[in-house]
Amino acid sequence: MTTVETEGTTTLQRGFVGQNVPRKEDRRLVEGQGQFVDDVKRHGMGYLHFVRSPYPHARILSIDVSAALELPGVYGTLTGDEVAILTDPFFQIAAEPGGSMKDYALSVGKVRYIGEPVAAVVAESRELARDAAELVMVDYEPLDVVVDARKSLEPGAPVLHEECGGNITYQGVWEWGDVDQAFAEADHVVKITDLHFDRFNSTPLELDGALVEYNRGTGQWTITTNNQFPGFAVIMMAPAMRVGTDKLRFVTQDIGGGFGNKITSHPQLVACCLLARKLNRPVQWTEWRTDFHQSMSHGNERWFLDTEVAVRADGTMTGFRTRVVDDAGAYLRYEPLGGVIWSQVAPGMYGWRNIRLDFTQAVTNKAPCSPNRGYSRMQHLWFTERIVDIVAHELGFDRVELRRKNYVQPEQMPYETPNGCVYDSGDYPASLDLVLDLIGYDTIEQRREEAASRGKLLGFGIGSTLDSGTNNFGQSQLVNPDLQFSGNNEVATVKLDIFGEIVVTLGTTPQGQSHETTAAQVVADILGCDVDAVHVRAGHDSYWNSHAGFSGTYASQFAVTGLGAVKGATEMLADQMKTLASMVFQCPKEAIELADGFARIADNPEAALPFMALGAIPNANNAGFPIDPPPMNARFVYRPPFDVPDKERKFGNLTLTYSMQIHACVVEVDPETGVYEIVDYAAVDDCGVRINPKIVEGQVMGATAHAIGAAMFESFTYDDEGNLLTPNFYDYHVPHTLDMPPLTTAAIETPSPFTPLGTKGMGEGGGGGIHCICAALQDALRATGSPIVTDSHNPYHRVFEMLRHPEHARAKVEVTGRSAT
Amino acid sequence: MSALPSTSMFVDVRVNGERYEREVPARRLLVHFLRDDLDLTGTHIGCDTGSCGACTVHLDGVPVKSCSVLAVQAHGASITTVEGLAGDEQTPLQRAFSEHHALQCGYCTPGMIMSATALLEQNPTPTEDEVKVALQGNICRCTGYWNIVEAVMAAGKGSA
Amino acid sequence: MKLEGTKEFDAPREVVWSVINDPSKMAKTMPGVESFDIADDRHWSAKVKVPLGLGGLKMSIDFEKIEERPLEFAALNAKGKGVGALMNMTTEFTLSGEGEKTSMAWEADVKIAGPVGSMGQRVLQPIINQQVGNVLSSLENEVEAAKAGAAGA
Amino acid sequence: MLLREVSYARPGTIEEAVALLAEYDGARALAGGQTLLNVMKQRAASPDVLVDLAGLDELRTITVAGSSLEIGAMTTLASLIRSSEVEVTRPILAEVAGTVADVQVRNRGTLGGNICVNDPTNHFPPLLVALDASMTVVGVDGERVVPAEEFFVGVFETTVREGELLTRISVPAGGKGTGDGMSGVTLGAHGTYVANAAASVVDGAWRIALGCVGAVPVRATTVEDALSGTEVEEAAVRAAVEGVGATLDPPSDVHGSADYRRSLAETSIVRAVLQAHDRARG
């Protein structure tokens, strides 16, 4: 484990910040005392089980719940017909044609993917609820199925949503610079017929769930749930349920992993709410693994068709153009934002100035796509990394030199991309050198020979990515000009209680990102007290007055928005504490310092008030003050500096910070079976100032593991009939201890000039592992007919296919240009 | 226990040293018995196929997946769950998990710790490979396992 | 899932045809038939318990003859409903051959959905191959029986 | 996680167990339950009565009787791994047991359960065919002994009929001149097999069985004949294996096409044979 740091000034003097402070969350979690949603019980609660569609596309002719209702112990049922009466369709982010889509909590009239909830049953036990669900008789008329997004765009393809007039949900041409000029001046043009980014997600170990209570007196629902973005859920649910947002109280303590996959559970939550009201009892729902695989938040599957890359003789890459088909699955739950978020990283880490993407998003009879770690950018970054490696492969450039030459250079920072995004800071070439050093790049050729002597094909690959953090929600206006979202925000409150406890409340819903710990580190440094003296409330409660419209934990932003809010609120409290101390000591506020748990006169440390005294005065001992003592209670809303993007040019800064990751790996392929092993792996990460390096490294490791899984094992694969072939952990293999390679990590810190603490969001990573494994396989297979790697997911049998038939992949790439013509 | 088939059975088990006697449906899995009937919610559920190990408990001293055992099969047995590990003090392994940042969301952690505890009981100073084999039946989606293996090694060395 | 094959019979086409066209005879070829009910000469239904080793899979199956060209061609559709599984199978038989020899080319398109379909992907194909094998061998027995019957008449 | 309603009984003797299995329609023996309970969770299979064999300690013994290793059907994979009898007579059994699933599953899962389930991806069906093992099955009217090759009937199906119980697996004890090997491709380390081969040589006579290429293990007799009695060299093995794949009809699924499995079958035979050969030479 190497850690290298470059010089970097931070806006905060380092005390606890920058230290590997042990996590506050850990004590309860290692003792099994965490509180996850399924752990919460209420008197008389009923268990909900969804009746799910066995068909990928069918008309619902009738639903008969009578047999289920007759089963003793069954409390009640809910069907799509009731939902259509009791609620309005969910608000759609999309403009036309996707905007016309009608999406409800349960299927209304039609089912569009296997596993879609068509009815719900509530009973006195989990087992009984499932028994009853089996007794719900649904009569279906099967319809033709389309599972390939390219086919769903063809004339005559089965139409999923008639109201959309076809299967297209969003279409837009994204073009910057002068693409035609770039190609006219190119010495070489590399053409790739099709590249495919596969469908998978992060499969958090804890499944979705909720415990919903309805208060008949106040008409309010309390929704204890592991939804990771209540701010989004509430704006989806409240209008659909025809109630005000304050009628929906969201409560969470611990969440067992989210990775974006727990953002779009709002349809199930609505079903729970309706049943809690209908049955007048608490309703508990916990999803099962197969339910999740079949229905929840798949990552966007994406095709890049007829790609062309313009390259100069010296290896300068001047532009690319491609036709993108994005597969949204059966419904738009957060989409088509995936159709725009990639543009935060349009040129990847490279200096491309001329870019054209003709982007079409289509629906298919598969599970709806929603955010997944690296949301939408990962697909695009895989594409940019693929074309860089294919250009090198086909034109004979050195992959390392080609990157070094085409990377955005440190002296260009902050760098404005062709579409107006601003890369805040970073030193990509230095990071590349570091990762090459970690993996022992200079020994690769020796190792290749040594492996060959064992009958193995060795390959080396690089994946260089950006993790763009802190969304400018104004980007949503690029897919729907009528939307009134822009900017971003997060809230924190900090108070000093009567006995001097410092209590911090966050608006976020962490799923392992250690917010309780890092928030306490920031607070302790500002208030000059011990990190253990800072109590950060676990979890989230929308009644705590510490949330805003964008509150939640998603899109790599806590280190900027969350800690920005914590810093702001703590500085307000510090000012109140100094003011109060100066009132007590009859001295100017400037003379007061906060240190060692005291407010004291800087040059007379004897004159010191413990925090307890400061807390007691406004709370319980406030008589006799000529003016009101400050309340020792501060609420701060952090708002990142954003403008609304230019909708015509699709131009503007879509995100605040850009963490950078460069991953490199070495694989060994068994040429007889296609089985391969990652024998060496290194990752360099730059997320600016690290509040807690060990926690940062933990996120890097997690993102790496997800990428390795996606590259080698994890895929939501469907057959032509719309069956998900990997509906459980038997067939959807999640890597375990024995599957993980040796890993070396290192960090570089180039503080962000744009954020309160010099931090950058970094939780998601950019799928670097997928990209470097694809590259390493392509490198390894040079020896066997030089196929190019055109899929993000390469299980053994696909590698075997490349080994046996390299010509199939060769046929997908062509080089033209002056020399050729 | 009756040799005649029945859909409901009287179950007498010791869990974390405490004796419980309950009438339990034959079809109820041990994990649901622990979580729902005994309110021992530290044992988690992450899959539906016995693949993830989040529900690992010790059944008569041996780590098993409580989602692949019927509650009635545990009749007469002695069970330890994650709640039964720490007394007034956490175990060295629990401390090592925290010190080595071997957990993030903490959902797989109870199962991981139960598997690792069983390993260290038989083999106090395991090699890295022995640790990996012992934890292979436990899925973690947050950490990539590197820090978990490191933590178990450290606890093994007693350096935690 | 599509399956196909050819089966040779030492029997005239009429005999083979009489068997594949007789619901009650076809019923005897199906695995685990518990009860059988003929609605009309184009529609019949059966309650079966497909032996799956780990526990039989109970299904009620509705059959419909969708096309027939006597002595040449027949197409059948079978829709099965059971707890845990849905089946939809289309089978086509094409007969050819002269005199005492008949060759039957068959094609089946099987779709299985529901938990069995979702969990059993890796074993489904062998299971279906196996069941088809059973059907064909018992079909042979039926043809033999029918041949004997015809001879006796 | 939620099973259909089921009845449960835990007999104290083999006789009681067999009687229960015979008496109740839809009764099934419950051994380690690591497959059966998980299939029941999917509700893809739903026995009406589970006859738990946990009380039958006589089914947990491992003994060496003359030249035969006698393994009780309820022997867990974990005890196979720990068994000194196995280690001295047929260590491949422990070696393979150590690669089945994971520690927790091996602590509950039994050898009898692994072969009675006969999932085509299971480890022991092809291995026991290659080792020329035999199974003792007890029914109300006494017991019968079935050679491994005839034991496996179909996916999830064996010759153990309703009302019968597998009690014992007998494996010829190895010794000088004996070598066993197993090779294949799995989903991740120690994962589910995509295809495999088990090979065993006893004094120059070969038995080779393939897994995952059909409903039951498939003998590679042409290779056995080609190798038996010859001096085994890699080139010769490869030549003998050539074309075996073409004779197979393996399933296609998300983990590999039939052609991929055909190729893996050939490669696995070569590797299993060479492994067995090395070991036979000691």
Q: What is the pLDDT along chain D (282 residues), one digit of tens a residue?
A: 899 999 999 999 999 999 999 999 889 999 999 999 998 998 877 889 999 999 999 999 999 999 999 999 999 999 999 999 999 999 999 999 999 999 999 999 999 999 999 999 999 999 999 999 999 999 999 999 999 999 999 888 899 998 999 999 999 999 999 999 999 999 999 999 999 999 999 999 999 999 999 989 999 999 999 999 888 999 999 999 999 999 999 988 899 999 999 999 999 999 999 999 999 997
Angstrom distances, CA of residue B7 to CA of B23, B24, B143, D50: 10, 9, 42, 10
- What 3-state class would DSSP assign to D90? coil
Q: What is the pLDDT of residues A768-814, one digit of tens each?
A: 999 999 999 999 999 999 999 999 999 999 999 999 999 999 999 99
- Chain A residue numbers with beta carbons less than 8 Å from the beta carbon of B44 are 36, 205-206, 256
Q: Is D7 left (phi over 0), alpha (psi -120 to 50) or beta?
A: beta
**pLDDT category of residue B2 using cuts at 50, 70 and 90:** low
Strand partners, A600: A593, A608
Q: What is the pLDDT of residues B39-69, one digit of tens each?
A: 999 999 999 999 999 999 999 999 999 999 9
Alpha-carbon distance D278 to D199, whole Å?
Answer: 12
What is the model's pLDDT at position C118?
Answer: 58
| Cβ of residue C129 closer than 8 Å to a chain D Cβ | yes
Q: Encoding tokens for residue B69?
A: 């055992």
What is the model's pLDDT at position D36?
Answer: 93
Cα angle D156-D157-D160, degrees, rounded to a multiple of 5: 135
Task: Kindly report whether the peptide bond that precedes residue A618 is cis, defined as omega within 30 degrees of 0.
Answer: no
- Chain B residue numbers with beta carbons less than 8 Å from the beta carbon of D105 are 50, 65, 68, 137
Q: What is the mean pLDDT of residues A578-600?
A: 96
What is the model's pLDDT at position A8?
Answer: 40
**Nearest CA of chain A to the CA of C117: how many Å?**
8
Which residue carries 């010790």 as its tokens? B58
Residues 6+ positions from A443 with CB-CB distance below 8 Å: none
What is the model's pLDDT at position C127?
Answer: 77
Which residue carries 């969304």 as its tokens? A471
Q: What angle separates helix A377-395 from helix A399-406, to the nearest 10 degrees? A: 120
Residues 6+ positions from A72 with CB-CB distance below 8 Å: none
What is the model's pLDDT at position A13?
Answer: 52
- Chain B residue numbers with beta carbons less than 8 Å from the beta carbon of D79 are none
Which residue carries 């799923």 as its tokens? A511
Q: Give me the percent of chain A exceeding a pLDDT of 90.
A: 96
| Cβ of residue C51 closer than 8 Å to a chain A Cβ | no
Q: What is the mean pLDDT of residues A454-465?
A: 98
Q: What is the pLDDT of residues A138-187, one digit of tens each?
A: 999 999 999 999 999 999 999 999 999 999 999 999 999 999 999 999 99
Q: Which helix (H) or strand (E) holds A186?
A: none
Cα angle A453-A458-A463, degrees, rounded to a multiple of 5: 165
Specify whether the CB–CB gap between A317 and A309 falls below 8 A.
Answer: yes
What is the model's pLDDT at position C84?
Answer: 64
Task: Answer whether C121 sits within 8 Å of A723, measured CB to CB.
Answer: yes
DSSP A558: I
Mutate to test the interface with A, among C121, C122, C123, C124 (most CBs of A within 10 A): C121
Alpha-carbon distance C148 to A294, whole Å?
Answer: 53
Alpha-carbon distance A784 to A802, whole Å?
Answer: 9
Task: Answer whether A796 sits within 8 Å of D42, measured CB to CB.
Answer: no
Alpha-carbon distance B46 to B67, whole Å?
Answer: 10
Q: What is the pLDDT of residues A54-113, one digit of tens each?
A: 999 999 999 999 999 999 999 999 999 999 999 999 999 999 999 999 999 999 999 999
| Cβ of residue A731 closer than 8 Å to a chain D Cβ | yes
Q: Which of A800, A559, A766, A789 has its CA nearest to residue A673?
A: A800
Alpha-carbon distance A685 to A748, whole Å?
Answer: 6
Q: What is the mean pLDDT of chain A?
A: 95
Q: Within 13 Å of residue A676, how many CA atoms lie on the same side as its CB?
A: 34
Q: What is the mean pLDDT of residues A474-500?
A: 95
**Nearest CA of chain B to the CA of D80: how many Å?**
15
What is the model's pLDDT at position B62?
Answer: 98
Give me the residue from D9, D38, D49 closest to B68, CB to CB: D38
- Chain C residue numbers with beta carbons less than 8 Å from the beta carbon of D46 are 55, 84
Query: What pTM, to 2 d.p., does this model score?
Result: 0.95
Task: Answer whether D155 sits within 8 Å of C127, measured CB to CB.
Answer: yes
What is the model's pLDDT at position A12?
Answer: 47
Residue of C nearest to A290 (CA): C118
Angstrom distances, CA of residue A17 to CA of A509, A524, A530, D46: 22, 9, 12, 57
Task: Answer whether B107 sits within 8 Å of A257, measured CB to CB.
Answer: yes
Q: Encoding tokens for residue D183?
A: 């090779």
| Cβ of residue A29 closer than 8 Å to a chain C Cβ | no
Q: Which helix (H) or strand (E) holds A449?
A: helix A444-453
Task: Kindly report whether the peptide bond that precedes residue A414 is cis, defined as omega within 30 degrees of 0.
Answer: yes
Q: What is the pLDDT of residues C24-83, one digit of tens each?
A: 888 888 878 888 888 888 888 888 887 766 666 778 888 898 898 989 998 989 888 876
Q: Between A401 and C150, name the one with better pLDDT.
A: A401
**Nearest CA of chain C to the CA of A725: how many Å?**
7
Alpha-carbon distance A217 to A7, whole Å?
Answer: 60
| Cβ of residue B31 closer than 8 Å to a chain D Cβ | yes
| Cβ of residue C121 closer than 8 Å to a chain D Cβ | yes
- Chain D residue numbers with beta carbons less than 8 Å from the beta carbon of C110 are none
Q: Which helix (H) or strand (E) holds A119?
A: strand A117-123
Q: What is the mean pLDDT of residues A287-293?
A: 96
Specify whether the CB–CB gap between A736 and A673 falls below 8 A.
Answer: no
How does strand C102-113 pair with strand C73-82?
Answer: unpaired
Q: Encoding tokens for residue A791?
A: 């899929």
What is the model's pLDDT at position C87?
Answer: 81
Q: Give backbone dihedrals phi and psi of B50, rounded to 5 degrees, phi first.
A: 70, 30
Rg, chain D, Cα only: 19
Range list of H helices, A686-786: 693-712, 768-780
Which residue carries 């738990």 as its tokens? D52
What is the model's pLDDT at position C55?
Answer: 67
DSSP A787: P
- Chain D residue numbers with beta carbons less than 8 Å from the beta carbon of A731 are 254-255
**Nearest CA of chain C to the CA of D162: how many Å?**
10
Q: Encoding tokens for residue A819?
A: 């020399």
Q: What is the pLDDT of residues A350-385, one digit of tens each?
A: 999 999 999 999 999 999 999 999 999 999 999 999
Angstrom distances, CA of residue A112 to CA of A101, A161, A326, A704: 12, 9, 18, 33
- Chain C residue numbers with beta carbons less than 8 Å from the beta carbon of D156 are 52-54, 123, 127
